[in-house]
Structure 1
C-alpha cells in the first residue's frame, strides 16, 4: 500500500485554507454590500426628513392651510351621484348599446342637451344639464359562467387552434363585448334623475338590426320546430303501426292455442320499438330546447336590475382634496428643497 507523502498533505491543507479564506472574504463583501444599502437608504430618509424637522413650523402651517383649502373645495364642489343598471341584451344589441353609450357621452361633452332630452324624454333645461356621463362594463360573472363561455369559445375554433388557447389566455384577452350581462353606470349632479334614463336605453336595445335579427331567428326556430313535429308524428305513426302488428300476432297466437294447435315454430315480425323510443326522446329533447330558447329570448333584453330611485354619492379618492392637497404640498416642498440644494451644489462646485 502506498501512503501520501507529508509534502502532499501539507499542499492539500494549504489549498483548503486558501479556499476557506476566499469563501470568508466573499461572504464578508456580501454582508458589507447589504449593510451599505441599508445605511444609504437610512441616510436618504434622514436627509429627506431633515428639512422638514428643521422647518417644522413652516411645514405644519403649509400643510394645515392646504388641508383647509381642500376641505373648503370639497364642501363647495357640487356632489356627483351614481346609479347602476344591469341588462342582458339579446340579438347582438350589445354592440349598439356600446356605441350609444359613447354617443351619449359625446352629446354631454358637446352640451347638446336638446338631443339628450329627446332620447331620454327628459327636460332639456334642467334634467339633461345635470347628466355628467355614462360608463359601461361587464356585469357580475361567476366562475361557472366564465368556464362555460370558454368551453363554447373552444368549440367554435378549429381543433388545431383550440389546443393553443388556454383558459388564462381567454380571460386576459376578453374585451367588454365578450360579456353577456352589462353594467351601465350613470353619473349626475342630481340624485333623482336616474329612473327616467331607462327609456333611452330601452330604445337602444330595440334597434333596427336587433329587430331584424329577432325576426330571422324566430322564423328559423319555427321552421325547425315544424320539422321536429313532423318527424315526431312520423315516429309516433310507426310506433302505432308496430303496436298494431304486435297486437295482431298476439291474437293469432290465442286463436291457435284455443283451437288445439301448438305450432312448433312461430315467425314473428321484426320491429324496432326501442330504436323508435330513443328517436322520440331525441326529438322531444330538441323541441324542448327550441321552446326554452323562444321563452328565454322572447324579448330584446332583460333588465336584471333597474336604476336606483335615488343615486348614491360617488366616492373617489382623487377628489378627497383635504388629503390630496397636503400630500401634494409636502411633495412640492421636498422637491423644492432638493432643487435648491442641487442648484447650490452645482453653483459652488469647482
Structure 2
C-alpha cells in the first residue's frame, strides 16, 4: 500500500499539469479571438463615428448647405440654358492598307488645330468655309462595333500568326483584354460641332485622312503581286490548253483507227490499247487556276480604295446631352465638395489651436 502512494501522487501531479496546460491554451485562444473581435469592432465603431460626425455636421449646417446647393443649381441651370448647344454625328469606316494609323494620327492633328484656332488649315483640309470650321468642337475616334464572332475570328488569325508554343499561353480573354485601338478593323469617327448641318460636308475631307505614302506603297505592292500571279496562272492555262489539244488529237486519231482483233474465232483476241490521257485532271486544274484568278480580280475590286464608309455622317446632327458636362449638376457637386473641405479645414484649425502637447 505504501509503495503505491508515491505513484498515485505523481499521476495526480501529471494530470494537474495537463489540465493547467489546457486552461492556458484555451485562455490564449480566447485572448486572440477577443483581440480580433475588438479590432473589427473598433473599425466598425470608427466608420460609424465618421458617418455620425458627417451627418451631424450636415444637420447642424443644413440651412447653409441647402442655400449653397440651390444657388449653385440655379446658376448651373441658367448656364445650361444660355450656352450654345453642341451637336454630334458619327461615321463608321473600314480602313485598308494599314491606313488606320494615319487616320488616328490625323484625328489628333485636327483636334490640335481646333485648340490653337488654326481654322485656315481646317478649311483647306475639309474644303469648307472658314466660318464653318469655327463651329467645330472636337474629333474623336474609337473602336467600331464588334461582335463576339468578330473577336473570335481575330483571335484565331492572331494565334495562327504566332508560334504554336506561345499560342498555348494566350487565352481568348487575354487577347481581348490586351487589345488596343489599332487592333480593330472598324472605327467610329465622332465629330462635335455647334452647327447642326455641317457633318455631311466633312465626309469628302476625310479622303485625305486615309491616304499616305505607306498606304500607297502597300496598294502598289499588292497590285504588282497580283499582276505577277495572274501572268503565272495564264501561262499555266496556256500549257493546259496545249496539252488538251494534244490529247484531243490523239483521241481523234485512235477513233479513226478503231480496234484490231486477230485469233481463232475470236478465242484469242488481240486488241490495240488506247493511249491513257488525263483530260479530267487537267480540267480540274484549269478550274482551280481560273478560280484563283477570279479571287485575285475580286480582291482588286473589293479593295481598290484606302477605306470604305459603312455608315456616313447624318445630314443633321443629334444634340449632345452629356450628363457629365451639365453645369446644373457640376456646380452643386463642386459647391458641396468645397463646403466639406471648408468644414474640415475649420475643424482642423480649431483642433490645432486648442492642442497642447
Unaligned runs of 5+ in 1: none
Residue equivalent to 2:47 = 41
Matches of 1:46 and 1:275, distance apart in 2: 90
Q: Give yes or no for the alignment of 1:181 onto 2:181.
A: no
Q: Give yes or no for the alignment of 1:225 onto 2:233.
A: no
Superposition deviation, residue 343 in structure 1: 0.9
Matches of 2:13 and 2:308, distance apart in 1: 94
Matches of 1:253 and 1:110, distance apart in 2: 92
Match of 2:101 among 87, 95, 105: 95
Superposition deviation, residue 226 in structure 1: 2.5
Q: Give yes or no for the alignment of 1:137 onto 2:142.
A: yes
Superposition deviation, residue 294 in structure 1: 1.7
Alignment of 1:311-322 (within 5 A): 311-322=317-328
> How big is each residue's C-alpha offset from its partner over 1:65-107, in whole Å with a ceiling of 9 and x where there is no partner?
1111111111122111111111112223223222222222222
Residue equivalent to 2:293 = 287
Q: Which range moves more in the overlay, 323-332 or 214-223? A: 214-223
Unaligned runs of 5+ in 2: 1-9
Residue equivalent to 2:335 = 329
Match of 2:86 among 67, 80, 84: 80
**Are the equivalent residues in 1 in contact too, given 2:260–2:272 (CA < 8 A)?**
no
Superposition deviation, residue 269 in structure 1: 4.7
When normalised by structure 1's length, the TM-score is 0.85
Q: How many residues align?
A: 346
Matches of 2:14 and 2:269, distance apart in 1: 112
Match of 1:31 among 20, 37, 40: 37
Q: Which range moves more in the overlay, 221-230 or 54-63? A: 221-230
> How big is each residue's C-alpha offset from its partner over 1:180-212, in whole Å with a ceiling of 9 and x where there is no partner?
111111110111110100010023234455445
Superposition deviation, residue 176 in structure 1: 2.1
**Are the equivalent residues in 1 in contact too, given 2:226–2:296 (CA < 8 A)?**
yes
Matches of 2:226 and 2:22, distance apart in 1: 87
Q: Give yes or no for the alignment of 1:338 onto 2:344.
A: yes
Superposition deviation, residue 28 in structure 1: 2.6
SS in 1 for 2:134: helix
SS in 2 for 1:256: coil
**Are the equivalent residues in 2 in contact too, given 1:48–1:334 (CA < 8 A)?**
no
Q: Give yes or no for the alignment of 1:303 onto 2:309.
A: yes
**Are the equivalent residues in 2 in contact too, given 1:80–1:189 (CA < 8 A)?**
yes
Q: Which range moves more in the overlay, 4-13 or 129-138? A: 4-13
Evaluate the alpha carbon distance shift between residue 251 and residue 51 of structure 1 in structure 2; reply closer, same or farther with a 3 A threshold: same
> How big is each residue's C-alpha offset from its partner over 1:301-331, in whole Å with a ceiling of 9 and x where there is no partner?
2110000111112232331221221122122
> How big is each residue's C-alpha offset from its partner over 1:135-166, in whole Å with a ceiling of 9 and x where there is no partner?
12221122332333333334444556555555
> How big is each residue's C-alpha offset from its partner over 1:222-273, in whole Å with a ceiling of 9 and x where there is no partner?
2212312322343354456556657766877755399947547876655556
Q: Give yes or no for the alignment of 1:193 onto 2:205.
A: no
SS in 2 for 1:315: coil
Q: Which range moves more in the overlay, 313-322 or 298-307? A: 313-322
Q: Which range moves more in the overlay, 299-308 or 192-201? A: 299-308
> How big is each residue's C-alpha offset from its partner over 1:261-289, in whole Å with a ceiling of 9 and x where there is no partner?
75478766555567546644543443343
Matches of 2:254 and 2:174, distance apart in 1: 64
**Are the equivalent residues in 1 in contact too, given 2:259–2:271 (CA < 8 A)?**
no
Q: Give yes or no for the alignment of 1:153 onto 2:154.
A: no
Match of 1:110 among 99, 112, 116: 116
> Pairwise CA RMSD of aligned residues?
3.2
Q: Give yes or no for the alignment of 1:203 onto 2:232.
A: no
Residue equivalent to 1:123 = 129
Q: Which range moves more in the overlay, 166-175 or 298-307? A: 166-175
SS in 2 for 1:91: coil
